[in-house]
A and B are shown apart, each in its own frame.
Chain A
Amino acid sequence: MNKVISIDQFIAELDSGMTIGIGGWGARRKPMDLVRAICRSSIKDLTVVSYGGPDVGLLCSEGKINKLIFGFVSLDLIPLEAHFRKARQNGSLKNVSELDEGMLQWGLRAAAMRLPFLPTKIGFGTDILKYNPHIKTIVSPYQDQQELVAMPAINLDVAIIHVNQADKKGNTQIYGPDPFFDDLFARAAKKTFVSTEKIVKTEDLGGADKAIFNRFERNLVKGVIASPGGAHPTSCAPDYGFDLSHLKDYSSQVDSYPEYKKRFVDLELADYHIAVGGIDSIYSLPLPRF
């Protein structure tokens, strides 16, 4: 069994109009190498589902997003995402489904469990329900008769996730202390592609000591893409922290995006490494302290 594919083979698995879920959280462990590959491709009209960071920002500035399903978009230490803001404020991104972070999780979990919805109290009393008129309520069939929000499943065509280590069979390991909701993205998707810092032999995955870091099963993984430094400029704990100066540069180029694109997006990974100062400079980025 060998699921290792090239970045071009990954792109060949995607189609315009697909619903793509992106793992990670804000400026943390985003599959940026895969996102940049989507930016370079002819794929468009995507529905993007994300706890958003620069993944959403880049796809906004590329005009790749038809619809965004999100709980937030932020670069963590830089709270507001400039590219996302611009797309919202100039009216080019009107088709949004803004959710509570937990509702987004619930939607993925419903999809993962092959359920049409999961019930919750969340959303009542807020404008989340007003701006998501497709979200219905139900009444508890039990004695309490409580009215609840029926958070609909968020079914994904594809999930993309960045991991610290994988083997060619699709066994993956995430060493960051918080695995976020990547397991649910993988379970909610018809097919999941992982980019990975390292590809090792199965016997070198680390045995029992490391098995706990295997956050979802290999049968969910359709393709494995070698991508050292592939989360840059977001963090990939414990391998590297986020690149704050790059993120500042990226944020400042919101009105000169073609320039940023030429310098950093229109490059294969090896050239990207050179453009950002070399793979060693990525691996020397300190982990952030909050």
Chain B
Amino acid sequence: MKDSNIADICISQAARAWADDGEILATGIGLIPRLAASLSKIVFNEGLMITDGETYLIDEPFPLGVERELKIEGYMSYSRVFENLWGGSRHAMVTPTQIDQFAQMNISCIGDYASPKVQLLGSRGFPGNSISHKNSVFIPAHTLKSFVEGEVDMVSSIGFKKENKYQPQIGKVFTNLGVFDFNGDNNSFRLISIHPDVDLASIEQSTGFQVDVSNYVETELPSSREIEIIEYLDPKGMRFSVFGG
């Protein structure tokens, strides 16, 4: 068995996010979430519907970055994605630039809205996704810049605020330090498992708000079968570039 590394740990853990979702659209946005969705369909939940990253639903996950033949089972244009997600049968995994104690996320801009310090994408589908279906989160660099104090600069997706008419469904949060959720008291942020060789203090120092660390375990390592499948899905090892150093 090969040594476990942070990319494979995150993919293996993130794949479990969809395990009990049944027959829904699994959308992993970005490389690690996408590999995780593919792994999930192979190992944990064959009912998942996944796309080729563009327009078609595919029957079998395929390796990225190499020649491949798509086994197409259906159609998922953007219009169809909207129709599907408004009905709620989707679970996306997203990478916001900022997330806060309420699970509010930001991909729009940093700084003053009228003239931002950093203009990002705009809110894309986050407002609609977050009010319609479950979202999990993957953040490769768990820092005070991503897990911000107070609130995110621009609220692109709805969070757990008391005054909200609707509440979001947040699955799990996967980072380079651990696995978390927002299922603590009053939807507070909670550590579920800590990755090998990560110390608790570094999680607390890298999070701009309270982390409930009352009950956690060490993150389970990927099985050798999972590692084999991850290598099949990412033969060029693009996943390692996601985590810097």
Q: Which residues of A contact B (CB under 8 A)?
A: 25, 52, 70-74, 79-80, 84-85, 88-91, 94, 98-103, 105, 120-128, 130-131, 147, 177-181, 289-290
Expressed in whole angstroms, the Cα–Cα distance for A83 and B119 within the complex equals: 11
Question: B77–A177 contact, CB under 8 A?
Answer: yes
**Of all chain B residues, which has the CB nearest A74?**
B121
User: Which B positions have Cβ atoms within 8 angstroms of A?
Assistant: 52-56, 75, 77-79, 82, 86, 104, 108-109, 113-128, 130-132, 154-159, 161, 164-166, 168
Determine the chain B residues whose CB is within 8 A of the CB of A181 once the complex forms. 78-79
Question: When the two chains form the complex, which single residue of A121, A126, A290 contacts B155, counting CB atoms closer than 8 Å?
Answer: A126
Asked if residues A178 and B55 are in contact (CB atoms below 8 Å), the reply is yes
Q: List 22 A-B contacts (CB under 8 A).
A: A71-B122, A72-B122, A79-B121, A80-B119, A88-B109, A98-B123, A100-B123, A102-B125, A120-B128, A121-B166, A124-B158, A124-B165, A125-B157, A125-B158, A125-B161, A126-B157, A128-B123, A130-B155, A178-B54, A180-B78, A181-B79, A290-B52
Q: What 3 A-B pairs come out closest when comparing CB atoms?
A: A125-B158, A290-B53, A91-B115
- The contact of B119 among A89, A99, A127, by CB within 8 Å, is A89
| CB of B86, distance to nearest CB on chain A (Å) | 7
| B119→A85 contact, CB < 8 A | yes
Query: When the two chains form their complex, are residues A126 and B114 in contact, meaning their CB atoms are under 8 A apart?
Result: no
B131 lies within 8 A of A70 (CB):
no
Closest A residue by C-beta to B160: A125
Closest Cβ of chain B: how far from A24's Cβ, in Å? 11
Q: Known contacts A122-B127, A179-B79; can you find 19 more A-B pairs with CB under 8 A?
A: A71-B123, A71-B124, A74-B121, A79-B121, A88-B116, A89-B118, A98-B122, A103-B128, A124-B165, A125-B104, A125-B157, A126-B123, A126-B130, A147-B165, A177-B54, A177-B55, A177-B56, A181-B79, A289-B53
* CA A168 to CA B145, docked complex, whole Å: 55
Docked Cα-Cα span, A180 to B104, in Å, equals 28
**Nearest A residue to B65, CB-CB:** A289
Cα distance, A25 to B82, chains bound together (Å): 14
| Bound form: Cα–Cα A122–B156 in Å | 11
Given the interface pairs A88-B109, A91-B115, the reply to whether A103 lies near B120 with Cβ below 8 Å is no
Min CB distance A173 to B, Å, is: 16
B82–A105 touching, CB < 8 Å? yes
- Whether B119 pairs with A88 at a CB distance below 8 angstroms is yes
Contact of B127 among A84, A128, A178 (CB under 8 A): A128
Asked whether A122 lies within 8 Å of B78 as measured between CB atoms, the reply is no
- Which residue in chain B gives the minimum CB-CB distance to A25? B78
Beta-carbon nearest neighbor of B156 in chain A: A126
B56 with A125: CB separation less than 8 A: no
Residues of B within 8 A of A84 (CB): 119
What chain B residues lie within 8 Å of A90 (beta carbons)?
115
Residue in B closest to A183 when the chains form the complex, CB atoms? B79
Chain B residues with Cβ under 8 A from A91's Cβ? 114-115
Query: How far apart are the CA atoms of A290 and B159 in the complex, in Å?
Result: 30
- The interface residues of chain A lying within 8 Å CB-to-CB of B123 are 71-72, 98-100, 126, 128
Assess the B79–A122 pair: CB atoms within 8 A: no
Q: Inside 8 A of B122's CB, which chain A residues have their CB?
A: 52, 70-74, 98
From B76, which residue of chain A is reached at the shortest CB distance?
A178
Residue ID in chain B nearest A180 by CB atoms = B78
Question: What's the nearest-Cβ distance from chain A to residue B152, in Å?
Answer: 9
B128 touches A101 (CB 8 A): yes
State A187–B127 Cα separation when bound (angstroms): 25
Q: How far is the CA of A98 from the CA of B154 in the complex (A)?
A: 11
Q: Could you tell me the distance between the alpha carbons of A121 and B86 in the complex, rounded to whole angstroms? A: 9
Contacts of B132 in A (CB 8 A): 121-122
CB-CB < 8 A to A180: which residues of B? 77-79
The complex places the Cα of A100 from the Cα of B53 at a distance, in Å, of 20
